[in-house]
Structure 1
Amino acid sequence: MSLNMIMNTATSGMMTAQGQLRVISDNVANVNTPGYVRKIGEQQAMTTQGVGAGVELTRVRLATDRFLQAASFNAGAEAARQGVRYELYDRIQSLFGNPSGGTDFFSQVETMFSAFAVAAEDPVSSPRRQEALFRAQTLFDEAARIQTQIQAVREDADGRLKSAVDGANMLLEQIEALNIEISRATVTGSDASGAESAQARLIGELSQIMDVRVSARTQGGVTVRTNAGVMLAGDGHATLEYQRAGTVNSESAFSDVWVTEPRGTKRALAESITSGEIKGLLELRNVEAPAAAERLAELVTRVADELNRAHNANSAVPASSTLTGRNVGQSFENAIAGFTGTTNIAVVNPQGVVQAQVEIVFSGGAMTVNGTAATPATFLAVLNAELGGQATATFANGVLSLSTGGANGVVIADDPDDPTSKTGRGFSHFFGLNDLVSTDRMALYETGLTGLSAHGFTPGETIKFRFTGDTGARLRDIEVTIPPGGAVDDLLATMNDPSTGLGYYGTFALDGSGALTFTPSRMPAPQLSVLEDRTTQVPSGVSLTELFGIGGGVRSSRADGFSIRADIDANPSRLALAQLDLNAAPGTQALSSGDGRGALLLADAGQRAAAFQAAGGAQGGAISISRYASEMAGDIGARASIAKDRRDAATTLHQEARSRQMSEEGVNMDEELVLLTTYQQAFNASARMIQAASDMYDTLIGMLR
Structure 2
Amino acid sequence: MSAIFGIGISGLNAARAALDVTSHNISNVNTDGYHRQRLSQSAATPQFVGYGYAGRGVDLYAVSRLYDGFMEEQLQSVTAASSGFQTQAAALTNIDNLITDGNAGLSNLMQGFYASMQTLSQQPASIAARQSVISQAEALSGRFQSMNTRLEEVRNGLITEIGTSVEGVNSYAKQIAALNAQIISLNQGEGRAPNDLLDQRDELVQSLNKLVKTDVVEQFDGMYSVFVGQGHPLVIGETSYEMTMMRGAPAQPEDPEAPSLAIKLPGTNNAVVLNSQLIAGGSIAGAMTTLNYDVARVQTDLGRMAVEFSDAMNRQQALGVDLNGQPATTPMFADLTAFRTSAENATTPAGEAKAMRDALRRFAVAIQEPAQLAAASGIQAGAAVPVNPAEVPGGKPSISSIWQVSNLSPADNPVLPAAPALALNYIPGNTPPFEADFGGTIVPVTQSATQAGVYEFTIPGPLPGGQHIAFKFEGQPATAQTIPVTPRTGAASESAQLDNANLLEMARVQTRPLMAATPNSTTTFWPATGAARTGNLQSFYGQTVSYVGSRTNVVQVSQTAQEAALQEVKLKRESFSGVNLDEEAANLIRYQQAYQASSKVIQTAQEMFRSLLDLR
In the superposition, the TM-score normalised over structure 2's length comes to 0.73
- Provide the rounded CA distance (Å) in 2 between the counterparts of 1:34 and 1:675: 22
- Provide the rounded CA distance (Å) in 2 between the counterparts of 1:227 and 1:311: 53
Pick aligned residue for 2:2 from 1, 4, 13: 4
Match of 1:437 in 2: 333
Match of 2:221 in 1: 219
Match of 1:128 in 2: 129
* 2:290 corresponds to 1:280: no
* 2:77 corresponds to 1:74: yes
* 2:579 corresponds to 1:662: no
Distance 1:443-1:560 versus aligned 2 partners, 3 A rule: same
Contact 1:251 1:557 in 2 (8 A): no
Contact 2:34 2:199 in 1 (8 A): yes
* 2:534 corresponds to 1:642: no
Structure 2 residue identity aligned to 1:593: Q
Alignment of 1:531-546 (within 5 A): none
Match of 1:410 in 2: 327
* 2:53 corresponds to 1:47: no
Structure 2 residue identity aligned to 1:154: R
Distance 1:673-1:95 versus aligned 2 partners, 3 A rule: same
Alignment of 1:583-622 (within 5 A): 583-584=381-382, 589-612=493-516, 614=518, 617=525, 619=527, 621-622=532-533
Contact 2:305 2:515 in 1 (8 A): no
Match of 2:263 in 1: 259
Alignment of 1:131-280 (within 5 A): 131-187=132-188, 192-226=194-228, 228-243=230-245, 245=247, 251-254=255-258, 256-260=260-264, 267-270=272-275, 273-280=279-286
Contact 1:250 1:554 in 2 (8 A): no
Distance 1:216-1:649 versus aligned 2 partners, 3 A rule: same
Alignment of 1:285-324 (within 5 A): 285-319=291-325
Structure 2 residue identity aligned to 1:68: M
- Provide the rounded CA distance (Å) in 2 between the counterparts of 1:691 and 1:109: 97
- Provide the rounded CA distance (Å) in 2 between the counterparts of 1:167 and 1:258: 15
Alignment of 1:544-583 (within 5 A): 551-565=352-366, 568-569=367-368, 571-583=369-381
Contact 1:43 1:56 in 2 (8 A): yes
- Provide the rounded CA distance (Å) in 1 between the counterparts of 2:498 and 2:46: 118
Structure 2 residue identity aligned to 1:107: N
Distance 1:688-1:191 versus aligned 2 partners, 3 A rule: farther
- Provide the rounded CA distance (Å) in 1 between the counterparts of 2:307 and 2:563: 39
Structure 1 residue identity aligned to 2:514: A
Match of 1:542 in 2: none
- Provide the rounded CA distance (Å) in 1 between the counterparts of 2:229 and 2:11: 45
For residue 43 of structure 2, give the secondary structure of its aligned residue in structure 1: strand
Structure 2 residue identity aligned to 1:279: A
- Provide the rounded CA distance (Å) in 1 between the counterparts of 2:59 and 2:23: 19
Alignment of 1:481-496 (within 5 A): none
Cα shift readout 1:654-680 (whole Å, capped 9, x = no counterpart): 222222222212111222223222212
Contact 2:120 2:129 in 1 (8 A): yes
- Greater mean alpha carbon deviation, residues 145-154 or residues 160-169: 145-154
- Provide the rounded CA distance (Å) in 2 between the counterparts of 1:12 and 1:697: 19
Offset at residue 234 of structure 1 (A): 4.7
Structure 2 residue identity aligned to 1:290: A
Cα shift readout 1:164-184 (whole Å, capped 9, x = no counterpart): 122111111111221222222
- Provide the rounded CA distance (Å) in 1 between the counterparts of 2:228 and 2:378: 70
- Greater mean alpha carbon deviation, residues 50-59 or residues 264-273: 264-273
Contact 1:17 1:679 in 2 (8 A): yes
Distance 1:127-1:646 versus aligned 2 partners, 3 A rule: farther
- Provide the rounded CA distance (Å) in 1 between the counterparts of 2:539 and 2:589: 74
Contact 1:581 1:591 in 2 (8 A): no
Pick aligned residue for 1:632 from 529, 541, 544: 544
- Provide the rounded CA distance (Å) in 2 between the counterparts of 1:696 and 1:628: 99
For residue 561 of structure 2, give the secondary structure of its aligned residue in structure 1: helix
For residue 582 of structure 1, give the secondary structure of its aligned residue in structure 2: strand
Match of 2:62 in 1: 59
Pick aligned residue for 1:18 from 16, 19, 24: 16
Match of 1:90 in 2: 93
Distance 1:444-1:554 versus aligned 2 partners, 3 A rule: closer
For residue 7 of structure 1, give the secondary structure of its aligned residue in structure 2: helix
Distance 1:62-1:135 versus aligned 2 partners, 3 A rule: farther
Structure 2 residue identity aligned to 1:282: M
Distance 1:443-1:516 versus aligned 2 partners, 3 A rule: closer
For residue 232 of structure 1, give the secondary structure of its aligned residue in structure 2: strand
Offset at residue 647 of structure 1 (A): 2.0
Contact 1:141 1:560 in 2 (8 A): no
Cα shift readout 1:549-592 (whole Å, capped 9, x = no counterpart): xx442243211212112xx32x2122111124522488772233
- Provide the rounded CA distance (Å) in 1 between the counterparts of 2:128 and 2:556: 45
Identity between Structure 1 and Structure 2 (%)? 21
Contact 1:306 1:606 in 2 (8 A): no
Contact 1:238 1:259 in 2 (8 A): no
- Provide the rounded CA distance (Å) in 2 between the counterparts of 1:225 and 1:445: 41
For residue 637 of structure 1, give the secondary structure of its aligned residue in structure 2: helix
Distance 1:199-1:103 versus aligned 2 partners, 3 A rule: closer
- Provide the rounded CA distance (Å) in 2 between the counterparts of 1:664 and 1:140: 61
Contact 2:96 2:552 in 1 (8 A): yes
Structure 2 residue identity aligned to 1:224: V
Contact 1:151 1:250 in 2 (8 A): no
- Provide the rounded CA distance (Å) in 2 between the counterparts of 1:268 and 1:581: 60
In the superposition, the TM-score normalised over structure 1's length comes to 0.64
Distance 1:624-1:250 versus aligned 2 partners, 3 A rule: farther
Structure 2 residue identity aligned to 1:16: A
Distance 1:641-1:575 versus aligned 2 partners, 3 A rule: same
Contact 2:34 2:196 in 1 (8 A): no
- Provide the rounded CA distance (Å) in 1 between the counterparts of 2:272 and 2:255: 25
Unaligned 5+ runs, structure 1: 320-408, 412-432, 447-514, 519-525, 531-550
Offset at residue 296 of structure 1 (A): 0.8
- Provide the rounded CA distance (Å) in 2 between the counterparts of 1:147 and 1:256: 22
- Provide the rounded CA distance (Å) in 2 between the counterparts of 1:636 and 1:96: 9
For residue 39 of structure 2, give the secondary structure of its aligned residue in structure 1: strand
Match of 1:498 in 2: none
- Greater mean alpha carbon deviation, residues 182-191 or residues 601-610: 182-191
Offset at residue 628 of structure 1 (A): 0.9
Contact 2:244 2:263 in 1 (8 A): no
For residue 104 of structure 1, give the secondary structure of its aligned residue in structure 2: coil
Offset at residue 95 of structure 1 (A): 3.1
Cα shift readout 1:469-500 (whole Å, capped 9, x = no counterpart): xxxxxxxxxxxxxxxxxxxxxxxxxxxxxxxx
Distance 1:108-1:588 versus aligned 2 partners, 3 A rule: closer
For residue 279 of structure 1, give the secondary structure of its aligned residue in structure 2: helix
- Provide the rounded CA distance (Å) in 2 between the counterparts of 1:687 and 1:573: 109
Computed over aligned residues only, the root mean square deviation of the Cα atoms, in angstroms, reads 3.1
Offset at residue 607 of structure 1 (A): 0.2
Match of 1:460 in 2: none
Structure 1 residue identity aligned to 2:222: G
Offset at residue 302 of structure 1 (A): 1.6
Distance 1:180-1:581 versus aligned 2 partners, 3 A rule: closer
Contact 1:145 1:560 in 2 (8 A): no
Distance 1:557-1:690 versus aligned 2 partners, 3 A rule: same
